[in-house]
Amino acid sequence: MEETKMRAASLKRKTKETDISIKIDLDGTGASAVCVDDQFFKHMLETFSRYSSFDLNITATGDNTHHLIEDVAIALGRAFKSALGEEPVERVSFFTLPMDDALVMASVDIVDRPWCDADCPDDLYLHFFRSFSMASGITLHILVYRGFDDHHIIEASFKALGKALKNAVVVRKDLLSTKSKVIMESD
């Protein structure tokens, strides 16, 4: 019988501005328990969990909404990267998601070259996507093809990101790279 590796991580982040506890399981069912003060943000994190099928437990408080969203994104990105481990994965994926008036595509590459370019009608959520990308080390592009309702555009972005990451973290037998594994040494 082949041993199953658990792709999960726990992380705590405490600063002057925020206090965050996160647990993530990449091989979950999309179950979530999210406790944050901002109800729309809570809804987005639960939506991300459901569409990615990642189990997600988050408890977070902050002195203001900006710090809360930014620091949760950083902690979630670091927890995601830790849970991913070193196993080879599909790595690259995209997903286009319709939601009422909104049509949004998220495209990801789990490559440890962080970059984010996201169309987002709200600076706080643009900051979320950028902070998540930098902390997790992924390349992330979010394109809004259409939409006029900011709520729908942001929610479709979280859903599309969840679906793209769900597909990108599928375990492969070999590394998807022409460079093979890069080994770094330091003195």
Domains of the chain, first to last: 8-168 (3.30.230.40)
pTM of the model: 0.91
Exposure of 65 in the CB half-sphere (CA atoms within 13 A): 9
Using CA atoms, how far apart are residues 47 and 15, in angstroms rounded to an integer?
A: 26
Closest alpha carbon to 23 in 39, 38, 35 = 35
Q: What does the angle CA 142 – CA 143 – CA 146 come to, to the nearest 5 degrees?
A: 140
Q: Is the pLDDT of residue 167 over 50?
A: yes
* pLDDT tens column, 94-135: 999 999 999 999 999 999 999 999 999 999 999 999 999 999
- Which amino acid, 146? R
Angstrom CA distances, 113 to 1, 139, 155, stand at 36, 6, 26
* pLDDT tens column, 143-164: 999 999 999 999 999 999 999 9
